[in-house]
C-alpha cells in the first residue's frame, strides 16, 4: 500500500491549547489538587547545614503538637528494598530517604512530619529543632580538587578531540583565551514538586508531576520492592518540568514510604525554598575557551574546557564544553570536562543541560574573537560555517542555519552595526548595543509507543503516556494523532498523562513531540492500514479491490487514492465488518543506522538589542529576534511560545538567575522568588520568533526536531555580547550585574 | 506556622486593649504573613486591624496638611488623583514598589513597619540581632551585596526596604499613633532607629502603640513641580531597590530655593541628607552641583560587606534623581515609575 493517510490537516495549524480553559479556570487537576479520603499532609524537614550529621531531633515535641500524626526519622523510617543509591534507570541519581543521619547538603530531608493538616505538619517540622554535628562545607568551583569525567554515562561528559589542537594553537595568527563563569541555577517550575501517594494493598497510585511516566513506574517499583505493574502514576498536567521532574527525589519517595507506613494517603508539596536542594539544579561552571584563527579568519582551533560543580556523593557534570562540538568548522576541536565535588545537592538536567552554559561562554568567546579579528560577529560565524559536522564529517540531516542567520539579521536590522563598542545611543541618552549568538540543540528521538483505535461510531481513540509540562503536548500530539487517523481533531479522544497507557518515553531532550508524536503517527497509520485491509477485501465496499493503488484516510472516510469518488466512511466499514473496533499500534525509535549516517540538530540565530544607562548601568533587553530551523513545526503557536520561553529563559540566565550560597553554612540565602530573580513582564520587551522552513527526511518519519530548549542557547551570549557592545565592558560572568558594569566603567 | 489567637477588633481602643507582649497587628499582611510562614515571626496573637473605622481615608486638614489613614492601600494612595498631583514622588515611589497584587493589599501603616529583607533576618535558622537580641549577625561576612553603607553597626547591617518612606522622609512626614499611653505624633525622621547596639528596637513605637495615620505638612506640596523618585534595581519591576533617591526642589528665578533629598536602600532608615540640601540652596541647578550634592550625601558611607559598589551607585542615583527633579515632574505618572527607562515601551 503506497499511502494510507493524508498528513497535515491538523498539523501545521496554530491550534490553541486544548487544555487552556481547564487551566485558566482551575478545572485542570494538578497533582496536589487531589484529596483522597483520609489524606495526611507531609512536610519534610530540610537540613540547615550542608555537611555533617544530625545528632538530635525533638520528636517528642513534634508529636505533642495537636494534629501531628507521625514523624519519620532515620530511627523509624523503614528501609527501602531498592536502596537510594541503586540505579534502576539511566536518569537515576542517589537520593536521601532517611536511611541514615548524614547531611550532604543544605535542604536535604532529615525528617518527615505527617499531620492532619498542612499547618500542623509545618509546625511539627519546626518543633523538631534539629541539632547537628556540622562540618565546614566545601563550596564553589574551587571547593575541592577537580576530577576529570570520562564520558561513561549521563551527566559524565568526557573528552572529545578532533584534529590536532596543539597544532591548531600553533597555527593561529590571532587568538583569544578567555574564561567565563556561570552560577548555580535552580529549576523552579511554577508548580513545585508535589505528590499524593495512595496505597491499596501492595499497589500504589501516585499523583505526581512527572516527565517520564512509565519509566518512573519501574524506578519507583524497584526502590519500593514491588512489581512495576503495581505502580500507577497519574500526571495529566505539570506546571513546568525543565528536567527536574524526570529525576526521582528523596522527599517524594518519603511521602510514598510514609503512606505505606501509616496506611493512609499522603500528600507532600514542596515549599519554594525547598526547591533549592533535593530536586536538582544546574551546577556552576568555569569555562576556558581558546580560539585561534588564521589569516582568512577561519578557525584553526576551538578549545573548550569546562569545570562544573557536582555533589559530594553523585556525579552529574554539566557537559558545557560539548556545546563547541557540532557547530563551527575548525581545524581542530577539543572539549574537556572536569567536575568539582561540593556540598550541594546533586545537579541534574536543567532545560538545555550543558548547552545553555556552554553556549553562553562559546558565543561570547566567538564575539571576542570576531572583535579581535576586526570583523562582524555574524560574518565571522559565516566564515566558519560547518557544512558537515565538524570532527565527525557527517552530513547534517538538515541545516537551515544560513537561512536563520539571514532572516534573523534582516528582521533585526543587523546590517550597519558598528564593530566597535559604545557607538550607539538612543534619544534618551541610553547606551545601545547589539549582539548575536548561534543557537544549537541536538535533535534526539526516544523510543515511544502508542495505541490508536477506530471506534464503530467513526471516532478515534488514541493513547500514549505523554507528559504535558505546559509545552502543549495535549494539543500538538492530538493534532498528529488526528492526522494519522484522518479524523478532525474533535472526533478523536486523546488519552495521555497516565502510566496505564503505552510508554511515551521521556518528555525531555526536546524530543517529546518527535518521540510520542512519532508513536501516535505510527499507531494511527497502523489502524488505518487495518481498516483499509477490511474495506479493500470486502466486495460490498466501494473500495473493494483498490488495494494495489492504496487508500487515503480523510475526514473520517477512506478514499481510493486513484479515484477520489470511491470512498466509504470509517463507521460503515466497521459496521459491515461486524462492528468491532479497529486497533493500531505504534512503536518507534530512531534506527541506529539513521543516527549513524547523519548529524541531527536544530539550529537558530538570536539577535539582541540592549539599552544600558550610562551612569547607573541598569540594563534592559529591548529587542530579541530569534530565527530557528527545527524541522516540521506541528503547531506554530505552541512552537513559537516554546521558543519565546527559551529566549526569556536566556534573558534570565544572562541578567538575573544566581543561587547565592552562604560560605559558612552552605545554605542558599536567596531561595525564594524575592531573592532568586527571574524576568518579570517588564523585563521582556520586543520578542520575536521566526521559524525557518526546514524539511528533514532523516530525523524521523514526520521530520520533527525539537523546540523546547534551543531558545536558551544563543540568547545568553547574544545578550552578553550586546551589553559589551553597548558599554565596552566585557563581563565574563553571568548574571551580568550593575556592579560588574560599574567596576568596568 | 505556630498556633495563634486571632482577634478582629472594631475600634482602635479595643485593638490597643487587645495587645499584649508577643502580639502583632495585621494590616495587609504582605510582610507579616510571609514571615510567619517561614517562622521568622511567631506572634501569639494576631490583631487584625483592617476593620478599624476611620483610618482608611485621605483627607486635607484645616491647616492644609494631608492626612492619610493607616489602612489606605498602596494602590489607592498612588492612584488618588489629588494626592498624586500634590505629592508626585510619593505616588511614584508607591507605584514602583512590589507588584500590582501586593500594592492592592499592602497598607500605609504596614509599609512603615515592614521588616528588613536581609536574608539572615528572614531566615529563622540564621543568627540575627534583630530577631534575637545578642544572637549575633550572620549577615556580617555573609551574602551582603545589598546591605547598608550608612548608619550600620557591628550588630546589624540591614537596610529598610520601603520605597514609600524615602519621599515621606524628604517631605517631613509625621506619624500619628495611639498607644496605651494615648495619642502622639512622631516625626518620620525619628521613627526608624539606626541599629547601634540594639537593632531589635527598630522603631520609636512603644509596646502596643498603633499607627493611625501619616501627615504631610501643607508646605510639602510646594515642590510638586520638581520632584522625582528614582529606584535602581536588578530587574525592571518587582524588586527591592539596590539604592533609591527621592529628590524635591523648589526653583525661583532659576535658582534652588528649597531642596529635599533622601536616599533609600542604604541604611536601616530612609536617609535624609540636610548637608546636601543646604549645599544646593541658592544655586543654579546643574549636573556639577548635583554631583557635589551627591558627594556630600554619601559622606561617611562605608561598605558593610561586599557592597562597596553601592556607595558609588548611590552617589550616581542621588545626582540623577536631582537632575530629574530639576527637569520637572512628568505630567503623568511614568509607565515604569521610578525607572530610568522611558515611557515609550509601556504605555
Q: How far is CA A493 from CA A17, A211, A237, A482, in A?
A: 15, 22, 17, 9
Please provide residue A447's backbone torsions phi and psi, each rounded to the nearest 5 degrees: -65, 135
In chain B, which residues have their Cβ closer than 8 Å to the Cβ of A430? Answer: 340-341
Mean of the per-residue pLDDT values for chain A? 96
Chain A and chain B share a number of CB contacts under 8 A equal to 94
pLDDT confidence of residue A91: 86
H or E element: which one contains A485?
Answer: helix A473-485
pLDDT of B144 higher than 90? no
In chain A, which residues have their Cβ closer than 8 Å to the Cβ of B341? Answer: 430, 611, 618, 620
Which residue does chain A place closest to B337, by CA atoms?
A682
DSSP state of A138: P
Contact A669 B341 (CB under 8 A): no
In chain B, which residues have their Cβ closer than 8 Å to the Cβ of A66? Answer: 3
H or E element: which one contains A254?
Answer: helix A250-262
Helices of type H across B41-145: 74-78, 81-86, 88-95, 100-105, 108-113, 119-122
Q: Taking the CA atoms of chain B, what radius of gyration do you get in angstroms?
A: 19
pLDDT digits (tens, 9 = 90+) for B80-129: 999 999 999 999 999 999 999 999 999 999 999 999 999 999 999 999 99
Q: What is the CATH number of the domain that holds B310?
A: 3.30.390.50
Question: What CA–CA distance (Å, rounded) separates A535 from A542?
Answer: 8
Residue among B125, B237, B313 whose CB faces A742 most closely: B313
Question: What CA–CA distance (Å, rounded) separates A619 from B341?
Answer: 9
Residue among A620, A662, A667 whose CB faces B236 most closely: A620
pLDDT confidence of residue B346: 34
In chain B, which residues have their Cβ closer than 8 Å to the Cβ of A737? Answer: 234
- CA-nearest of A538, A539, A524, A533 to A551 is A533
Residue among A428, A613, A683 whose CB faces B235 most closely: A683
Q: Strand, coil or helix: what is A428?
A: coil
pLDDT confidence of residue A230: 98
Question: What CA–CA distance (Å, rounded) separates B332 from B84?
Answer: 9
Question: What CA–CA distance (Å, rounded) separates A45 from A128?
Answer: 8
Distance from CA of B235 to the nearest CA of A (A): 7
Q: Taking the CA atoms of chain A, what radius of gyration do you get in angstroms?
A: 27
For CA atoms A318, A446, A702, A479, the dihedral sign is: negative
Contact A664 B141 (CB under 8 A): yes
pLDDT confidence of residue A1: 32
Strands (DSSP E) found in A218-371: 231-234, 266-269, 285-293, 299-311, 333-342
Per-residue confidence band for B343, with pLDDT thresholds at 50, 70 and 90? low
pLDDT of A132 higher than 50? yes
Contact A618 B341 (CB under 8 A): yes
What domain count does chain B have? 2
Contact B346 A123 (CB under 8 A): no
pLDDT of A327 higher than 50? yes
In chain A, which residues have their Cβ closer than 8 Å to the Cβ of B126? Answer: 665
Half-sphere exposure of A648 (CA within 13 A, CB side): 18
Contact A616 B316 (CB under 8 A): yes
pLDDT confidence of residue A547: 72
Contact B142 A743 (CB under 8 A): no
Given a contact cutoff of 8 angstroms between Cβ atoms, the answer to whether A484 and A9 are in contact is no
Distance from CA of B149 to the nearest CA of A (A): 15
DSSP state of B211: E
A395-444+591-745 CATH, one of 3.40.50.970, 3.30.365.10, 3.40.190.10, 3.40.1450.10: 3.30.365.10
Per-residue confidence band for A438, with pLDDT thresholds at 50, 70 and 90? very high
pLDDT confidence of residue A8: 55
Peptide bond into A735 cis (omega under 30): yes
Active-site annotation holder among A191, A318, A657, A709: A709
Q: CATH code for A20-27+459-589?
A: 3.30.365.10
pLDDT of A176 higher than 90? yes
pLDDT digits (tens, 9 = 90+) for B302-317: 999 999 999 999 999 9
Which domain, by its residues, includes B41?
A: 5-51
Distance from CA of B2 to the nearest CA of A (A): 6
Domain membership flag for residue B315? yes
Per-residue confidence band for A152, with pLDDT thresholds at 50, 70 and 90? confident
Domain membership flag for residue B289? yes
> Which residues have C-beta within 8 Å of that of residue A420, sequence separation ≥ 6?
none
A→B contacts (Cβ < 8 Å), by residue, are: 48, 66, 119, 122-123, 126, 273, 428, 430, 611, 613, 615-618, 620, 622, 655-656, 660-665, 667, 669-670, 674-675, 677, 679-683, 685, 737-739, 742-743
pLDDT of B227 higher than 90? yes
pLDDT of A598 higher than 70? yes
Percent of chain A with pLDDT over 70: 99
Q: Strand, coil or helix: what is B296?
A: helix
Half-sphere exposure of A339 (CA within 13 A, CB side): 26
pLDDT confidence of residue A90: 83
B→A contacts (Cβ < 8 Å), by residue, are: 1-3, 38-39, 99, 117, 119-120, 123, 125-126, 138, 141-143, 145, 232-240, 242, 309, 312-313, 316-317, 319-320, 336, 339-342, 345-346
* Domain layout of chain A by residue ranges: 20-27+459-589, 34-136+188-275, 138-185+282-343+353-383, 395-444+591-745
Q: What is the CATH number of the domain that holds B21?
A: 3.30.43.10
- The angle subtended at Cα A265 by Cα A260 and Cα A266, nearest 5°, is 90
Question: What CA–CA distance (Å, rounded) separates A669 from A662?
Answer: 6
pLDDT digits (tens, 9 = 90+) for A510-554: 999 999 999 999 999 999 999 999 999 999 999 998 876 789 999
Domain membership flag for residue B36? yes
Fold match between domain A34-136+188-275 and domain A395-444+591-745: yes
Q: Strand, coil or helix: what is B157?
A: coil
Residue among B117, B125, B312 whose CB faces A742 most closely: B312
Among candidate residues B16, B36, B51, the one where a domain is terminated: B51
In chain B, which residues have their Cβ closer than 8 Å to the Cβ of A660? Answer: 143, 145
Question: What CA–CA distance (Å, rounded) separates B336 from B273?
Answer: 26
pLDDT digits (tens, 9 = 90+) for A464-500: 999 999 999 999 999 999 999 999 999 999 999 999 9
Domain membership flag for residue B310? yes
Q: CATH classification of A138-185+282-343+353-383 is 3.30.365.10, yes or no?
A: yes
Per-residue cell: B48: 487584625
Per-residue confidence band for A5, with pLDDT thresholds at 50, 70 and 90? very low
pLDDT digits (tens, 9 = 90+) for A80-121: 999 999 999 888 999 999 999 999 999 999 999 999 999 999
Q: Is A493 a catalytic residue?
A: no
Given a contact cutoff of 8 angstroms between Cβ atoms, the answer to whether B342 and B317 are in contact is no
Contact A677 B316 (CB under 8 A): no
Q: How far from the centroid of its chain's Cα atoms is residue A575's Cα?
A: 45
> Which residues have C-beta within 8 Å of that of residue A59, sequence separation ≥ 6?
A71, A73, A75, A128
Please provide residue B271's backbone torsions phi and psi, each rounded to the nearest 5 degrees: -105, 100
Return the bridge partners of A182, or none. Answer: A285
Distance from CA of A258 to the nearest CA of B (A): 22
pLDDT confidence of residue B344: 43
Q: What is the mean pLDDT of the segment spanning A425-431?
A: 96
Per-residue cell: A452: 490508536
CATH class for the domain made up of A34-136+188-275: alpha beta
Q: What is the mean pLDDT of the segment spanning B181-204?
A: 98
ipTM score: 0.97
Domain membership flag for residue B244? yes
In chain B, which residues have their Cβ closer than 8 Å to the Cβ of A613? Answer: 340
Which residue does chain A place closest to B2, by CA atoms?
A123
Q: What is the mean pLDDT of the segment spanning A709-721?
A: 98
pLDDT confidence of residue A6: 42
Phi-psi region of A352 (alpha: psi -120 to 50; beta: other; left: phi over 0): left
Amino acid at each position: 500500500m503506497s499511502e494510507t493517510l493524508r498528513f497535515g490537516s491538523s498539523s501545521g495549524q496554530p491550534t490553541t491549547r486544548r487544555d487552556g480553559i481547564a487551566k485558566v479556570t482551575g478545572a485542570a487537576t494538578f497533582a496536589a489538587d487531589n484529596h483522597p479520603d483520609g489524606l495526611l499532609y507531609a512536610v519534610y524537614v530540610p537540613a540547615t547545614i550542608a555537611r555533617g550529621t544530625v545528632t538530635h531531633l525533638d520528636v517528642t515535641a513534634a508529636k505533642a503538637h495537636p494534629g501531628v500524626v507521625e514523624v519519620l526519622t532515620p530511627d523509624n523510617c523503614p528501609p527501602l528494598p531498592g536502596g537510594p543509591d541503586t540505579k534502576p534507570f539511566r536518569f537515576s541519581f542517589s537520593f536521601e530517604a532517611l536511611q541514615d543521619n548524614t547531611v550532604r547538603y543544605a535542604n536535604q530531608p532529615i525528617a518527615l512530619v505527617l499531620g492532619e493538616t498542612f499547618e500542623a505538619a509545618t509546625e511539627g517540622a519546626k518543633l523538631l529543632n534539629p541539632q547537628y554535628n556540622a562540618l565546614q562545607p566545601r563550596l564553589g568551583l574551587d571547593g575541592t580538587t577537580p576530577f576529570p569525567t570520562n564520558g561513561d554515562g549521563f551527566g559524565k561528559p568526557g573528552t572529545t578531540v578532533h584534529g590536532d589542537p596543539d597544532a591548531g594553537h600553533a597555527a593561529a595568527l590571532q587568538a583569544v583565551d578567555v574564561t567565563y563563569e556561570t552560577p548555580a541555577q535552580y529549576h523552579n517550575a511554577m508548580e513545585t514538586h508535589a505528590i499524593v501517594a495512595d496505597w491499596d494493598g501492595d499497589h500504589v497510585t501516585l499523583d505526581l508531576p512527572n516527565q517520564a511516566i512509565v519509566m518512573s513506574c519501574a524506578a519507583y517499583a524497584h526502590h519500593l520492592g514491588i512489581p512495576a505493574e503495581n505502580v500507577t502514576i497519574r500526571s495529566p498536567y505539570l506546571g513546568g518540568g525543565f528536567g527536574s521532574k524526570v529525576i526521582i527525589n528523596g522527599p517524594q519517595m518519603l511521602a510514598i514510604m510514609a503512606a505505606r507506613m501509616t496506611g493512609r494517603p499522603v500528600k507532600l508539596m514542596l515549599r519554594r525554598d525547598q526547591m533549592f536542594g533535593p530536586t536538582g539544579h544546574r551546577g556552576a561552571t568555569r569555562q576556558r575557551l581558546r580560539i585561534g584563527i588564521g589569516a582568512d579568519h577561519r578557525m584553526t582551533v576551538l578549545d573548550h574546557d569546562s569545570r562544573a560543580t557536582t555533589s559530594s556523593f553523585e556525579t552529574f557534570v554539566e557537559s558545557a564544553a560539548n556545546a563547541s562540538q557540532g557547530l563551527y568548522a575548525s581545524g581542530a576541536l577539543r572539549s574537556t570536562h572536569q567536575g568539582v565535588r561540593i556540598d550541594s545537592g546533586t545537579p541534574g538536567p536543567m532545560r538545555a543541560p550543558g548547552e545553555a552554559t556552554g553556549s553562553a561562554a562559546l558565543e561570547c568567546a566567538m564575539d571576542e574573537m570576531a572583535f579581535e579579528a576586526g570583523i562582524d560577529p555574524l560574518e565571522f560565524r559565516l566564515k566558519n560555517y560547518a557544512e558537515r559536522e565538524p570532527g565527525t564529517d557527517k552530513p547534517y540531516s538538515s541545516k537551515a542555519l544560513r537561512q536563520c542567520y539571514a532572516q534573523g539579521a534582516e528582521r533585526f536590522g543587523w546590517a550597519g552595526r558598528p564593530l566597535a563598542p559604545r557607538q550607539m545611543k538612543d534619544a534618551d541618552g541610553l547606551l545601545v548595543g547589539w549582539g548575536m549568538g548561534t543557537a544549537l540543540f541536538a535533535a534526539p528521538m526516544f523510543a515511544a509507543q502508542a495505541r490508536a483505535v477506530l471506534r464503530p461510531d467513526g471516532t478515534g481513540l488514541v493513547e500514549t503516556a505523554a507528559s504535558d509540562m505546559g509545552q502543549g503536548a495535549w494539543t500538538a500530539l492530538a493534532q498528529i494523532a488526528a492526522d494519522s487517523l484522518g479524523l478532525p481533531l474533535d472526533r478523536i479522544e486523546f488519552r495521555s498523562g497516565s502510566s496505564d497507557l503505552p510508554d511515551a518515553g521521556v518528555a525531555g531532550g526536546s524530543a517529546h513531540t518527535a518521540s510520542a508524536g512519532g508513536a501516535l503517527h505510527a499507531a494511527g497509520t497502523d489502524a488505518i492500514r487495518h481498516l483499509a485491509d477490511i474495506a479493500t477485501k470486502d466486495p460490498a465496499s466501494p473500495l473493494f479491490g483498490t488495494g494495489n493503488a492504496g487508500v487515503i484516510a480523510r475526514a473520517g472516510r477512506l478514499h481510493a487514492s486513484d479515484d477520489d469518488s470511491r470512498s466509504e466512511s470509517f463507521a460503515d466499514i466497521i459496521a459491515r465488518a461486524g462492528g468491532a473496533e479497529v486497533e493500531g499500534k505504534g512503536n518507534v525509535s530512531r534506527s541506529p543506522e539513521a543516527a549513524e549516517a547523519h548529524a541531527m540538530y536544530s539550529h537558530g540565530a538570536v539577535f539582541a538589542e540592549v539599552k544600558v544607562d550610562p551612569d547607573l548601568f541598569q540594563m534592559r533587553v529591548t529587542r530579541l529576534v530569534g530565527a530557528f530551523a527545527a524541522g516540521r513545526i506541528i503547531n506554530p503557536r505552541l512552537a513559537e511560545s516554546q521558543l519565546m520561553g527559551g529566549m526569556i529563559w536566556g534573558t534570565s540566565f544572562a541578567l538575573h538567575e544566581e543561587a547565592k550560597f552562604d560560605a559558612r553554612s552552605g545554605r542558599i540565602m536567596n531561595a525564594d522568588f524575592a531573592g532568586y530573580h527571574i524576568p518579570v513582564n517588564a523585563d521582556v520587551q520586543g520578542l520575536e520568533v521566526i521559524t525557518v522552513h526546514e524539511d528533514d527526511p532523516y530525523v524521523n518519519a514526520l521530520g520533527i526536531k525539537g523546540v523546547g530548549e534551543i531558545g536558551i542557547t544563543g540568547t545568553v551570549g547574544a545578550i552578553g555580547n550586546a551589553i559589551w557592545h553597548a558599554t565596552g565592558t566585557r563581563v565574563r560572568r553571568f548574571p551580568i550585574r550593575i556592579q560588574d558594569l560599574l567596576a568596568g566603567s | 506556622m505556630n498556633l495563634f489567637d486571632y482577634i478582629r477588633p472594631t475600634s482602635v481602643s479595643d485593638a490597643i486593649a487587645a495587645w499584649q507582649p508577643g502580639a502583632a497587628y495585621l494590616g495587609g499582611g504582605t510582610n507579616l504573613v510571609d514571615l510567619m510562614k517561614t517562622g521568622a515571626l511567631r506572634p501569639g496573637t494576631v490583631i487584625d486591624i483592617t476593620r478599624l473605622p476611620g483610618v482608611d481615608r485621605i483627607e486635607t486638614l484645616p491647616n492644609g496638611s494631608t492626612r492619610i489613614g493607616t489602612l489606605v492601600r498602596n494602590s489607592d494612595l498612588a492612584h488618588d488623583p489629588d494626592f498624586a498631583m500634590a505629592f508626585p514622588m510619593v505616588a511614584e515611589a508607591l507605584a514602583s514598589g512590589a507588584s500590582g497584587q501586593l500594592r492592592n493589599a499592602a497598607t500605609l501603616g504596614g509599609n512603615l513597619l515592614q521588616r528588613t529583607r536581609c536574608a539572615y533576618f528572614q531566615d529563622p535558622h540564621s543568627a540575627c540581632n534583630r530577631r534575637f537580641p545578642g544572637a549575633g549577625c550572620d549577615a556580617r561576612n555573609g551574602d551582603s551585596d545589598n546591605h547598608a553603607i550608612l548608619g550600620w553597626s557591628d550588630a546589624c547591617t540591614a537596610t529598610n526596604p520601603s520605597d514609600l518612606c524615602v519621599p515621606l522622609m524628604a517631605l517631613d512626614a509625621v506619624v500619628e499613633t495611639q498607644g496605651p499611653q494615648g495619642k502622639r505624633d512622631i516625626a518620620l525622621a525619628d521613627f526608624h532607629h539606626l541599629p547601634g547596639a540594639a537593632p531589635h528596637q527598630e522603631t520609636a513605637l512603644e509596646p502596643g502603640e498603633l499607627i493611625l495615620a501619616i501627615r504631610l505638612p501643607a508646605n510639602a506640596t510646594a515642590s510638586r513641580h520638581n520632584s522625582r523618585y528614582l529606584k535602581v534595581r536588578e530587574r525592571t519591576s518587582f524588586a527591592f531597590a539596590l539604592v533609591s533617591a527621592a529628590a524635591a526642589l523648589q526653583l525661583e528665578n532659576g535658582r534652588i530655593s528649597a531642596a529635599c533629598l533622601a536616599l533609600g536602600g542604604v541604611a536601616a532608615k530612609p536617609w535624609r541628607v540636610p548637608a546636601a540640601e543646604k549645599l544646593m540652596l541658592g544655586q543654579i541647578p546643574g549636573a556639577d552641583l548635583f554631583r557635589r550634592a551627591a558627594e556630600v550625601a554619601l559622606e561617611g558611607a562605608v561598605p558593610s560587606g561586599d557592597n562597596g559598589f553601592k556607595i558609588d551607585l548611590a552617589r550616581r542615583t542621588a545626582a540623577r534623581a536631582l537632575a530629574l527633579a530639576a527637569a520637572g515632574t512628568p505630567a503623568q505618572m511614568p509607565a515604569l515609575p521610578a525607572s530610568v527607562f522611558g515611557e515609550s515601551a509601556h504605555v
